[in-house]
Structure 1
């Protein structure tokens, strides 16, 4: 065998070895990879990887010492205000809580819930709502479907979202958010006739939603536990 043939054979063997090493390190896609996480989920490395019901993840804030752990709170709500005091108390129980990140997740969850309700998407609603709220949404969807009615909605956007209250009750942390949004929504009967709303006009919607999470649970997800429409 000539020197050129030997060099060619050497690189061929090296390429094969590198391929198998990369395959063992990177693995192969099997179709069972973990999907994204819940909009209101805080990152928790101790979470059971088998839980695949999430949609979007939120980054976990680094825990600090002393007043450093409240820096995100003071940047979000003016020190000395009732909201600042409430958020500080919540953070004493849940050091990973970051109000700005939570609010971003709440806005994402709001849009998902509104659109899932309009589409009759029970699967998405189940991941974001508490049992009591889910039962109410499912009942309304079933009632609508029984009449053959269809809701067509377009989510225009959120004009304003703010945390109005935060508390810890027993082992449950609760955060209330006021959201002002814009929607185009219309309800049609089974014959296709418009019976409610407007298929073209943008309407202003004001809601107050409360989210909750069990601090003792390894599940990082928040659930919508109460809704209220503001006039």
Structure 2
């Protein structure tokens, strides 16, 4: 995990952004929307305005960590013990929502949307990449299809909860056809943070 975390250096991120996000084809992206707080069980999000919760998240059924066995079970249990109300299914639904928002915001150069969704290191790298896209008059990006997502790794590193999620999608950027994007995104948050959202802290090819 340490290798993955430090892989968020600008060179790696910029390379992946330009090769994967920057080269996909499609139509005009939908208006920006803020993601709901994610990673929390329904009982822990009752105070959140229900109108802000996406349809996908509302349809997800909560299930305990014991139902998500395998190599990630220990890490998820540790996170659940440290993050009040943490729920695996709600986290995945929120992560999928965040994926679409982040890709679309990056593709349209929407820095304000990205600012609250990315770690400082990733945000700085995205700013540089978006400047390059604007200079090249690159088209906007849209997520045409988001396939299954899967948690690959999870850990509680001191006060930092960190979860790797694999995404497979088809992206479009105004040209002909689609481009497949298979990536692993690392989300993290401080267990003491009042903000319920997780931040994107690293991206690498799946």
TM-score (norm. length: structure 2): 0.70
Please report how far the alpha carbon of residue 38 of structure 1 lies from its aligned counterpart in structure 2 after TM superposition.
Answer: 3.4
Q: Which of 170, 179, 182 is matched with 1:203 structurally?
A: 179
- Segment drifting more, 35-44 vs 167-176: 35-44
- Segment drifting more, 35-44 vs 213-222: 35-44
d(CA) in 1 for partners of 2:115, 2:136:
23
The Cα offsets for residues 16-73 of structure 1, whole Å up to 9 and x where unpaired, read as xxxxxxxxxxxxxxxxxxx9763536456899xxxxxxx64878xxxxxxxxxxx611
Please report how far the alpha carbon of residue 203 of structure 1 lies from its aligned counterpart in structure 2 after TM superposition.
Answer: 1.6
Q: Which of 180, 183, 195 is matched with 2:171 structurally?
A: 183
Q: Do 1:39 and 1:108's aligned partners in 2 also have CA atoms closer than 8 Å?
A: no
Q: Relative contact order (alpha carbons < 8 A, sep ≥ 6): 1 or 2 greater? A: 2
Answer yes or no: is 1:111 the counterpart of 2:100: yes
Please report how far the alpha carbon of residue 152 of structure 1 lies from its aligned counterpart in structure 2 after TM superposition.
Answer: 3.0
Q: Do 1:163 and 1:177's aligned partners in 2 also have CA atoms closer than 8 Å?
A: yes
d(CA) in 1 for partners of 2:139, 2:129:
12
Please report how far the alpha carbon of residue 89 of structure 1 lies from its aligned counterpart in structure 2 after TM superposition.
Answer: 1.7
d(CA) in 2 for partners of 1:148, 1:119:
13
Count of aligned residue pairs for this structure pair = 163
Q: Do 1:166 and 1:175's aligned partners in 2 also have CA atoms closer than 8 Å?
A: yes
More strand by share: 1
d(CA) in 2 for partners of 1:152, 1:92:
41
Q: Which one has the largest radius of gyration? A: 1
SS of match in other structure, 2:140: strand
d(CA) in 2 for partners of 1:203, 1:44:
36
Any unmatched runs of 5+ in structure 1?
A: 1-34, 48-54, 60-70, 187-198
Any unmatched runs of 5+ in structure 2?
A: 1-32
d(CA) in 1 for partners of 2:84, 2:170:
34
d(CA) in 2 for partners of 1:56, 1:139:
31
SS of match in other structure, 2:144: strand
The Cα offsets for residues 73-126 of structure 1, whole Å up to 9 and x where unpaired, read as 122x13xx2211221122121241111110010001001111111100111111
Q: Which of 63, 74, 79 is matched with 2:66 structurally?
A: 74
TM-score (norm. length: structure 1): 0.63
